[in-house]
């Protein structure tokens, strides 16, 4: 066997970033493969994090930059694994790196091209609440700080017109001829940290998402209240619109729900709703916030104290009920939430200016395909499953392949980080034992 000293990490969210940094610190070469043009995952888009209310990107950005600067880590963005051959510690991974149409070695991230680009399209990194250009940086703290051309929207590709970006780019970085690249890597072990997807509640007609503009998802709310988001952190229903004075948060939207095929608890929503209600209060003292919950799951360290503080110091009201319906009061422009209070059982209603739906967080829809490529098993919900969830939670069902973060089941940031460190420790054992001994 000619064992390699490289490890492949799939997914550049907080779990993949932590795993890469831990391995690089041990002197191991890491290929960090990320599907998007920037690493960061969901944490890069959050405003603050529970239970400390620290700024999310302030914690993550230094780690993202450390990954970029570390000579032992090679970040491959816009990239996906298409095949894995062999066995630990001698895997051969084939990656497809999609063309950016911008030379990564030349782009300085100056932004001149973006300014001159005439095309505006919905910005998925701000949950489509504002627009970005056809040549763009996903978000201000993106790593690497390199532009990407959206081929589907760029006039050069769709109509053979424009070419503004190539005219203004002083670095000569624009390359309309760039092709997708196939990269073959020899790796000793693989860590999968490909995260989750957010449930789209449009099919829950009772809540009016997509029908009423003041019904938002929690992820949209995170971007609205974030200083680097579409409204500069001003909580408004629409950019340039009115500020809500009463907010209703609804828990378990699509979670713990057999009819939506998500019978499990998404694990983080009770706490992120508490955080989001606190943030509203921190921004605007006169705002009223209501959280509709079934059971309040405050199971982590200091989580119960956090909820107690939300009630006592922030005046947040918790109502034990699953609302049955949201209806618009057209005259007042408000939303009426109808609910059956489980403590004082009778139908009641409350009027609010904005509703935030704390939607289910689900396994990635591409996880089955990835499971097939890697030869690892998924559980009944579609999360990657551990060989032994009690004694060996970071080892997948195949030797030399490890799982970390939300792709292995619902969990918050600290748990994702802990799992990533566990997975990196296990993966480094593969390399250490590659000269002989049992591979985990």
Ligand X SMILES: Cc1cc2nc3c(=O)[nH]c(=O)nc-3n(C[C@H](O)[C@H](O)[C@H](O)COP(=O)(O)OP(=O)(O)OC[C@H]3O[C@@H](n4cnc5c(N)ncnc54)[C@H](O)[C@@H]3O)c2cc1C
Beta carbon nearer to ligand X, 52 or 115: 52
Phi/psi region, residue 325 (left: phi>0; alpha: psi -120 to 50; beta: rest), is beta
141 alpha carbon, distance to own chain's centre: 15
Task: Name, in order, each residue with C-beta under 8 angstroms of 321's C-beta and a sequence gap of 6 or more.
Answer: 292, 293, 339, 340, 341, 342
Beta carbon nearer to ligand SF4, 53 or 65: 65
Nearest to 216 by CA among 353, 99, 89, 408: 353
- Work out what residue 109 binds among ligand SF4, ligand X, none; the CB cut-off runs from 5 to 8 Å by kind: ligand SF4
- Work out what residue 121 binds among ligand SF4, ligand X, none; the CB cut-off runs from 5 to 8 Å by kind: none
Q: Quick one: 344 exposed, middle or buried, by C-beta within 10 A (0-12, 13-18, 19+)? A: exposed
User: What Å distances lie between residue 108 and 113, 156, 169, 173, 418, CA to CA?
Assistant: 11, 22, 10, 9, 34
Least distance between ligand X and beta carbon 335 (Å): 20
- Work out what residue 279 binds among ligand X, ligand SF4, none; the CB cut-off runs from 5 to 8 Å by kind: none
Q: How many other CB atoms are found less than 10 A from the CB of residue 405?
A: 31
Least distance between ligand X and beta carbon 413 (Å): 3
- Work out what residue 196 binds among ligand X, ligand SF4, none; the CB cut-off runs from 5 to 8 Å by kind: ligand X
Tokens 């069902």, residue located:
397
Least distance between ligand X and beta carbon 14 (Å): 5
Intra-chain end-to-end CA distance of the chain, in Å: 17
- Work out what residue 218 binds among ligand X, ligand SF4, none; the CB cut-off runs from 5 to 8 Å by kind: ligand X
Question: For residues 93 and 83, is the Cβ–Cβ distance under 8 A?
Answer: yes
Least distance between ligand SF4 and beta carbon 117 (Å): 3
Beta carbon nearer to ligand X, 423 or 439: 423
Beta carbon nearer to ligand X, 34 or 288: 34
Least distance between ligand X and beta carbon 110 (Å): 25
Least distance between ligand SF4 and beta carbon 178 (Å): 12
User: What Å distances lie between residue 86 and 89, 199, 288, 336, 434, CA to CA?
Assistant: 8, 35, 58, 58, 14
Beta carbon nearer to ligand X, 306 or 318: 306
- Work out what residue 233 binds among ligand X, ligand SF4, none; the CB cut-off runs from 5 to 8 Å by kind: none
Beta carbon nearer to ligand SF4, 158 or 302: 158
Compute the distance between CA of residue 252 and CA of residue 250 in angstroms, rounded to an integer.
Answer: 7
Nearest to 408 by CA among 375, 381, 373: 381
Compute the distance between CA of residue 394 and CA of residue 375 in angstroms, rounded to an integer.
Answer: 16
Beta carbon nearer to ligand X, 387 or 411: 411
Angle at alpha carbon of residue 437, lines to 436 and 440, rounded to 5°: 120
Least distance between ligand SF4 and beta carbon 106 (Å): 7
Beta carbon nearer to ligand X, 46 or 137: 46
- Work out what residue 413 binds among ligand SF4, ligand X, none; the CB cut-off runs from 5 to 8 Å by kind: ligand X
Least distance between ligand X and beta carbon 70 (Å): 18
Least distance between ligand SF4 and beta carbon 108 (Å): 4
Residues binding ligand SF4 (CB under 6 A): 102, 107-113, 116-117, 119, 134-135, 147, 149, 154-156, 162-165, 168-169, 171, 173-174
HSE value, Cβ hemisphere, 13 Å, CA-based, for 54: 12
DSSP lists the bridge partners of residue 363 as 196
Residues binding ligand X (CB under 6 A): 10-16, 33-36, 41-43, 46, 49-50, 80, 193-196, 198, 218-219, 222, 268, 272, 275, 361, 364, 366, 370, 405-407, 411-413, 416
Beta carbon nearer to ligand SF4, 156 or 411: 156
């Amino acid at each position: 066997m000619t064992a390699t000293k490289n490890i492949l990490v799939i997914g550049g969210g907080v779990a993949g970033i932590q795993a890469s940094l831990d391995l690089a610190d041990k002197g191991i070469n890491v290929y960090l493969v990320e599907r998007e043009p920037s690493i960061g995952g969901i944490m890069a888009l959050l405003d603050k994090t529970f239970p400390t209310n620290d700024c999310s990107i302030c914690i993550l950005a230094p780690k993202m930059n450390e990954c970029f600067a570390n000579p032992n880590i090679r970040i491959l963005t816009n990239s996906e694994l298409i095949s894995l051959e062999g066995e630990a510690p001698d895997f051969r991974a084939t990656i497809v790196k999609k063309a950016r149409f911008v030379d990564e070695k030349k782009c300085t991230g100056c932004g001149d091209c973006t300014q001159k680009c005439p095309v505006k399209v919905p910005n998925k990194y701000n949950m489509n609440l504002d627009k970005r250009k056809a040549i763009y940086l996903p978000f201000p703290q993106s790593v690497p700080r390199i532009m990407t051309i959206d081929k589907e929207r760029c006039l050069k590709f769709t109509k053979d017109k424009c070419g503004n970006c190539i005219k203004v780019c002083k670095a000569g970085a624009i390359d309309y001829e760039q092709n997708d690249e196939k990269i073959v890597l020899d790796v000793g072990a693989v860590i999968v940290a490909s995260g989750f997807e957010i449930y789209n509640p449009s099919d829950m007609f009772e809540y009016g998402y997509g029908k009423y503009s003041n019904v938002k998802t929690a992820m949209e709310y995170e971007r609205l209240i974030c200083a680097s988001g579409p409204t500069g952190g001003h909580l408004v229903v629409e950019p340039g619109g009115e500020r809500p004075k009463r907010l209703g948060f609804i828990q378990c939207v699509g979670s713990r729900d057999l009819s939506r095929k998500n019978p499990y608890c998404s694990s983080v929503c009770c706490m992120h709703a508490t955080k989001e209600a606190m943030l509203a209060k921190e921004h605007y003292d006169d705002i009223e916030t209501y959280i509709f919950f079934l059971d309040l799951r405050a199971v982590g360290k200091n989580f119960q104290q956090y909820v107690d503080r939300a009630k006592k110091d922030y005046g947040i009201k918790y109502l034990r009920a699953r609302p049955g319906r949201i209806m618009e009061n057209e005259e007042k422009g408000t939303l009426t939430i109808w609910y059956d209070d489980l403590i004082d059982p009778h139908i009641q209603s409350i009027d609010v200016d904005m509703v935030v739906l704390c939607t289910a967080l689900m396994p990635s829809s591409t996880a089955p395909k990835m499971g097939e490529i890697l030869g690892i098993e998924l559980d009944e919900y579609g999360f990657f499953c551990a060989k032994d969830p009690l004694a060996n939670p970071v080892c997948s069902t195949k030797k030399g392949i490890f799982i970390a973060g939300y792709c292995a089941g619902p969990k918050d940031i600290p748990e994702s980080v802990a799992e990533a460190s566990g997975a990196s420790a296990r993966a480094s054992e593969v390399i250490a034992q590659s000269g002989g001994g049992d591979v985990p």
